[in-house]
Every structure is written in C-alpha cells, then in structure tokens.
Amino acid sequence: MFLGNEDILDILYSAEEKALSLGASYAEARFHLLERQGVIARNDAIIGTTLASSRGIAIRVVFKGALGFSSTYSLSKEDVLKAVERAVSQAREASVHMKNQIIFSNEKLGRAKVSVIEKKKIDDLSTEEMINLLMDSWDKIKSADIHSKIPVYMQNLSWSKEYKVIVNSDGGFVESYVPRVFYFFNLVEYNDGNSINKWYEYAASGGSELAEEFVAKGRQYEDVYVLDKILRKAKPSPKGRMDVVLGDEIVGLLAHESSGHPSEADRILGREAAQAGKSFIKPTSIGTRIGSEIVSVVDDPTIPGSNGFFLYDDEAVPARKKYLYKNGVINEYLHNRYTGYLFGKGSNGSARAMDAFSEPIIRMSNTYIEPRDHSLDELIKDIDYGIYMKSYMEWNIDDERWGNRYVGLEAYLIENGEIKDLVKNPVLEATTGEIYSSIDAVGKNLVFHAGTCGKGEPSQGVPVWFGGPPIRIRKVRIL
C-alpha cells in the first residue's frame, strides 16, 4: 500500500536529519500502520462488527546518553519535525539526571524489504464470509451430542495488516508487511449447577486461508465434548508430590513465562522493574545450569507463518534463532542494541514495537521447548501414579519468573502407566528451577499456540507463538 512511498521516506529522512542537527547522537524514525477488521459473535448473535486502523510516525533519539521518544498522528513534515524537537528536548532534560549513559552497540543493520506473501489475500476475507464462518461454527457447537448446556459460545475473528518503514541514523532501512489472522473463542458449559469455561486463541501470519483452519477445523469441536465430560465425570485431583506429564499447551506457556521472559536483558537489568518486574536470571548467569540436559528453549522470529514473525527487528537488526537455554544451561539473553552494548555481545534482533505509539523494547517472538524423542504414550507409561495436564485456564508467575502456577483444565490421573479418570483442576505450583531440573523426558511433537504478550509502559501487546512437545516432570507438588 505505502511500500516505496517517496513522501513518507522523505519525511522519515527529514526527521532523522533534524534530530541529528539538534544534537542527537542517534535518531530513528518509523512509519507504522496497522489495519484490522473483525466480527464478534455470541452464539447465533452478532454483537460487533469492527474495522480499525492506526497510523503514525514514531521518533526515537539519544541525546547526551538519554533516550527520548515521541509519536505523532500527523504526516505533515512540519508536525513530524515538531515531534522530533519534542523528543530531543525531553531527552535533553533527562540527560542531566543520567548516571549511566545509553549507548547502542555497533551492528550491521539491514537494508531490506520484507513481505509476507499470502496464499489467499487477506482482503478476500469479507465480513460476510467471516460472519458465515462464525455462524457455521455455532451451528456445529450447539449440535454437539452432549449432556451439558452451552449458554455462551463467544467468538472473535479478525485479520490485520501491519506495514512498517524504519530508518535510522546508523544506516538501517527496513520496510515490512505482515498480514495476520486472529481467532478467539470462549466456550461455557453448564451441568447440574456447575459450570466450566475454556478460552483459546489462534493466530498466525499469512493469508485469509487461516480463517477456515481456525474457525472450521479448530480444537473447539473437541473441547465441547471434553468440557462436558469434565463437568460430569471429573474426580477430585490427588494432592502431594507426584510425576506429571504436561501437554504441549502448558509446555508452550512454560517456555514463554519461565524461559523467555526471564531471558529478556532489559528485565535482567531492571528496566521493567516497576512494571513486569525483574528476573531470577542475573547479568552473570550465562553458563549456569537451570535444568536437565535434555531441555533446550529456543526463541526464533524467523519461523515462516508464525505469529511472532519478523526478519529484521524494529532497530533494523537482522533477526535470528536463539537458544535461551541450551541442554539445561542458561545460554543467551534477548538483546536490543542498548543491552547488546552493555553486555558486550551485540544485539540479537529482539526489539519490537506494537504500533506507532510504542517505543521498541525487547520482546519474544516464537518461543518453544525443543522437541526430542518420546511419544506421549512413552511419557505416560513410565509413571506409576501421577497426572497428565493437557490444557489449562488459570496460570501466573511471580515478577522474577521463579514461582509458577498452572491449573489443569483437561487433566487425567495416570496409574500404572495408563491414562485413567479425568481429574478436576489439579494445581501445579513449583519454581522454574524445580520444573526444568525435574524434566526427565521430552516429547517429539512440537505444537505452537498463539498469544499476545504484554510488556512496557504504556503496555504493548505483541503477537507471539509459544510451543513445545509434551514433557514429563518427576515429583512436583500438586495442590
């Protein structure tokens, strides 16, 4: 749409020039456009049809070691240059109070154009088609042969298109286009005075072909039966220390929460201390053992079709696959050019901004536990007494990413190597060290799940995937 738009490029370069002329040692200008279209339905009713577009220019400068950011709606050169003046002036005020100056690492920056090519154009997914998909889904859900009632089946289907042009005074120039499809459902069932609910999110980069995959062929058509069974048949969960197999849905979340987040170098250095908190990982933790040798955790933005896809980050640094934990050892942090300089390692391309109103900060992309060799049956068969937690609703973790809690939704008792009865809401509470050290087998089937990861001030939600195969952990605490 705008790719190659000379007027925009002229404004971005003028902004960069202006900042440098005002004394900034670094200047960056980003045009960022996000378009979204979506439909929200509850059962057979349409409760919202929406179209949204956000657009603007974000400026970032370093002035005497202080960082300034400014964002404006206007694309007039005059207004953009005012935004530059504002960023520089505020950084100048802050520079007096800096004890440690902000310096960026030297990098070979990208000069590239990156476009995700849709199989079917995202625009081809019309509102009528979206509505039809959602209504067909409700018809299928409501006709499920179950005992429970379904008072609520809420669905939200949308697509988005993200365009960016980034220029910076160190020679970086990146234009990109990433289309995505997002689908969310919340399924509630009632039976005999009890209720249960499950929500789940699908999202990926690609074209409108994804909508049918998510809405027409999604897991909700299995979940509708599973929830009914849990309501009617689940028994109280056993408590105490026991062996647990975690399904890929929980393993993915585990990788995100207790490997990805604590490996963010800005968090390790305290930059997010008042918001998302700090990290149990310290600046000197590289090489420290965190888990058993069979566990490796990866963050990789370059996976084609992924929700967290990018090839250059928002500082124009080339993106790459990173091993956060390798064979059970803390191996690499997520860096931008600021932390890359401080650690002397350089950036590994992890800076992302949500939109034109957001500064680029260190973010995950697609984070997963690397698959190995076990089938699910093999993971289960070596357990005398334990639990298989396949899915979850509730989870949380402390702000150093050490104390985890995952509450199973679809969960089964394991006895003598076999899956037995459904059990109700087993609660796993354990530290990150305990969980990773207790993993004695890793499955072979890697499955990704989608999410929107929150961080920053103002809070920025960016699209990510998290995933893994099922894993087995020995003797952890079930409450």
**90-149: which residues touch another protein (CB under 8 A)?**
90-91, 93-94, 96-100, 126-128, 131
Q: Binding of another protein at residue 54 (CB under 8 A)?
A: yes
To another protein, the closest distance from the beta carbon of 44 in angstroms equals 9
Nearer to another protein, 332 or 434 (CB): 434
Residues 58-87 that bind another protein (CB under 8 A): 66-75, 79, 83, 86-87
Nearer to another protein, 54 or 327 (CB): 54
To another protein, the closest distance from the beta carbon of 276 in angstroms equals 8
Residues 172-191 that bind another protein (CB under 8 A): 186, 188
In the sheet that holds 322-326, the strands lie side by side as 329-330, 322-326, 297-299, 366-369, 460-468, 447-455
Residue 120's CB: how many other CB atoms inside 10 A? 14
Cβ neighbors of 18 (< 8 A, separation 6 or more) are 27, 81, 84, 85
To another protein, the closest distance from the beta carbon of 475 in angstroms equals 12
Q: Binding of another protein at residue 5 (CB under 8 A)?
A: no
By CB atoms closer than 10 A (0-12, 13-18, 19+), residue 323 is middle
- Specify the DSSP class assigned to residue 365: -
Q: Binding of another protein at residue 154 (CB under 8 A)?
A: yes
Residues 416-455 that bind another protein (CB under 8 A): 425, 427, 429-431, 433-434
Q: Binding of another protein at residue 271 (CB under 8 A)?
A: yes
Nearer to another protein, 290 or 397 (CB): 397
Nearer to another protein, 36 or 372 (CB): 36
Tokens of 71: 């964002």
CA distance 365 to 267: 16
To another protein, the closest distance from the beta carbon of 434 in angstroms equals 5
Helices (H) and strands (E) in the chain, counts: 10, 25
The torsion angles phi and psi of 183, rounded to 5 degrees, stand at: -145, 135
To another protein, the closest distance from the beta carbon of 69 in angstroms equals 4
Query: Under rule CB under 8 A, how many of the chain's residues touch another protein?
Result: 89
| 280 close to 404: Cβ distance less than 8 angstroms | no
Nearer to another protein, 69 or 309 (CB): 69
Residue pointed to by tokens 């949380």: 396
Nearer to another protein, 170 or 400 (CB): 400
The torsion angles phi and psi of 24, rounded to 5 degrees, stand at: -70, 145
CA distance 99 to 87: 20
Q: Binding of another protein at residue 1 (CB under 8 A)?
A: no
Q: Which residues pair with 162 in a beta bridge?
A: 34, 178
CA distance 311 to 458: 25
| 183 close to 212: Cβ distance less than 8 angstroms | no
Residue from the set 5, 9, 17, 46 that interacts with another protein by CB under 8 A:
46
* Contact string 276-295 vs another protein (x = CB under 8 A): -x--x---------------
Residues 299-338 that bind another protein (CB under 8 A): none
| 98 close to 65: Cβ distance less than 8 angstroms | yes
Nearer to another protein, 49 or 375 (CB): 49
Residue 476: closest CA among 402, 395, 419, 405: 405
To another protein, the closest distance from the beta carbon of 6 in angstroms equals 16
| 54 close to 71: Cβ distance less than 8 angstroms | no
Nearer to another protein, 44 or 377 (CB): 44
Residue from the set 20, 55, 327, 461 that interacts with another protein by CB under 8 A:
55
Tokens of 138: 């409700």
Cβ neighbors of 93 (< 8 A, separation 6 or more) are none
Q: Which residues pair with 389 in a beta bridge?
A: 246, 411
The torsion angles phi and psi of 101, rounded to 5 degrees, stand at: -75, 150
Residues 355-394 that bind another protein (CB under 8 A): 355-357, 359, 393-394
* Contact string 226-265 vs another protein (x = CB under 8 A): ----------------------------------------
Nearer to another protein, 70 or 366 (CB): 70
To another protein, the closest distance from the beta carbon of 37 in angstroms equals 8
User: DSSP of 270-288, one letter per residue?
Assistant: TTTTTTT---SS-TT-TT-
Nearer to another protein, 52 or 216 (CB): 52
To another protein, the closest distance from the beta carbon of 354 in angstroms equals 12
Residue 452: closest CA among 336, 307, 309, 333: 307
Residue from the set 4, 6, 45, 284 that interacts with another protein by CB under 8 A:
45
Nearer to another protein, 398 or 418 (CB): 398
Residue from the set 151, 171, 238, 283 that interacts with another protein by CB under 8 A:
151
Residues 389-408 that bind another protein (CB under 8 A): 393-400, 402-403, 405, 407
Residue pointed to by tokens 């007039």: 76
Nearer to another protein, 42 or 326 (CB): 42
Q: Which residues pair with 441 in a beta bridge?
A: 472
